[in-house]
Chain A
Amino acid sequence: MAENEFNNNKNLKNMKNLKRVLGIGVIAVASCFVIAADHIDAPEVKGGSSDITDFYAFQGENTDNLVFVANLQALISPANTGSATFDENVLVEFNIDTNQDNIEDLVIQAIPRNGKMYFFGPVKPSQTGLNSTIETSTTIGGNVAISSYGSAANIATNNGMSFFAGPRDDPFFMDFAQYSAIIAGDASSFNMPGADTFAGSNVMSVVVEVPKSMIGGSGKINTWVESKRK
């Protein structure tokens, strides 16, 4: 499709072309425009206790620290939030590559047990890749009582790290409904203003803040989060 064609025939023709192209896209990409960012992303984990909805990594209020956030279990309604729980058989593992080879040099593991979320690391994992064992021999980490719906957030600290686990507002925002309408060919553009499909829903969050000195100190890291089941 020549760019000139678009430049010379704005709006209507563009929209027609785009719909045609989007139509092809819909077939090619099939039903993969499910829910962003990673909510309900794949059949095996969709809606389950290991379904990661989102991952964030950002500088903390204390700029010597970095914060990792993993959210699980998409679109929990307020009515269902009080009964939402972490799965004791599901490990949440933050992976940190400090030397730019996309292999984890350090992990922070979070796993619930009897109302507490236990954190191990940052520590060099005993094995990399798809299978993990819990690094219980490390002295780095901590634990925090899992916060209850309707109560103030429980925060624990240890050796400069901070820990939280429990229900939170889903921080993700997007007009997913209109996006779906566009992809389905029922709309030609987003609305102004859009409507946040994720407004009013909650997720189960794991938040850990660590001194940057524990994860490489300076430069760039690559990071990703995994859920793993026993």
Chain B
Amino acid sequence: MKNIKILTLALTVSLMAFNCSNDDDNNEIKVIVPDFSGTYTQEDQMGRPAVNTVFVAAADKDAYNVTIPTAQSAAFQSKFEANLLALSPAYADGGKNALGQDAAAFTGLLATDVLNVSLDGKTTFYDGIAKNTLSGRALTDDVITVELLLIFGGEDFTEFPGLSNDNVDANDKTFLTSFPYLASPH
């Protein structure tokens, strides 16, 4: 009995000692190199604002989120065009938007859902100046009104004025001029 007690104590002490040094090693490694191993598989994606929301049919939404940009046009352009023609009379009978695009051209642009960004100056979704069109997306850009105008506004942005502007032109909080640019949370 006594021998067993001593043996147990000895074992416990040695195990504790082993655990201590082992823990120290682990802690040191954890601080320096977190474990980022493994494969990460796509669930959502976004390029231009509102493309999946507006143009992708309900049944296709998940599929769209896991279709790489180079495969999107073949899979979805014709569906986008059908949805656009069904949604907006501005494109009927060869009607165009203010970028001079008919329904096929406009949806051809949108169906590869990447954001085009200039590295040479102003970055905006649309500001009325041709050379700046699709040069990025700034926080202050009223992208929904621009998209409504392109969907409903016709060749000169004057068709269906009641549908071409949601009359919300700015964020509820002022953006910062410096990093991280987004306003503090509510």
Contact = CB atoms under 8 A, between A and B. Distances in A.
Contact of A220 (B116, B162, B163, B169): B116
Contacts, number: 318
18 contacts: A1-B89, A21-B87, A25-B87, A32-B61, A36-B49, A36-B53, A37-B144, A52-B44, A58-B139, A59-B136, A61-B178, A102-B112, A129-B68, A155-B179, A205-B182, A220-B119, A220-B135, A224-B114
B168 interface: yes
Contacts of A225: 45-47
B44 A222 contact: no
Interface in A40-55: 41-45, 50-52, 54-55
Contacts of B38: 133, 230
Interface string A211-224: 01001111111111
B182 A207 contact: yes
B185 A28 contact: no
Interface string B144-174: 1000000000000001101101111111110
A175 B169 CA distance: 10
The 8 tightest CB contacts between A and B, nearest first, are A189-B162, A42-B61, A37-B49, A228-B40, A194-B167, A134-B36, A25-B87, A199-B172
A220 to B, nearest CB: 6
Given A168-B180, A227-B43, A195 B119 contact: no
B95 to A, nearest CB: 7
B138 interface: yes
A22 B167 contact: no
A218 to B, nearest CB: 5
Interface of B: 33-34, 36-47, 49-59, 61-62, 64-66, 68-70, 82-83, 86-89, 92-93, 95, 112-124, 135-139, 142-144, 159-160, 162-163, 165-173, 175, 177-186
Given A6-B159, A42-B61, A153-B180, A111 B36 contact: yes
Contacts of A17: 89
Contact of A222 (B61, B115, B160): B115
A15 B161 CA distance: 11
A67 B181 contact: yes
Interface in A64-95: 66-67, 69, 78, 81, 90-91, 93
A227 B45 contact: yes
B175 A52 contact: no
B53 A202 contact: no
B68 A130 contact: yes
B86 A118 contact: no
Given A66-B119, A182-B163, A193-B168, 19 more contacts: A25-B83, A28-B83, A32-B53, A35-B53, A36-B144, A38-B50, A41-B53, A42-B61, A44-B43, A58-B139, A59-B136, A61-B177, A102-B70, A136-B36, A168-B183, A193-B167, A221-B116, A224-B47, A228-B40
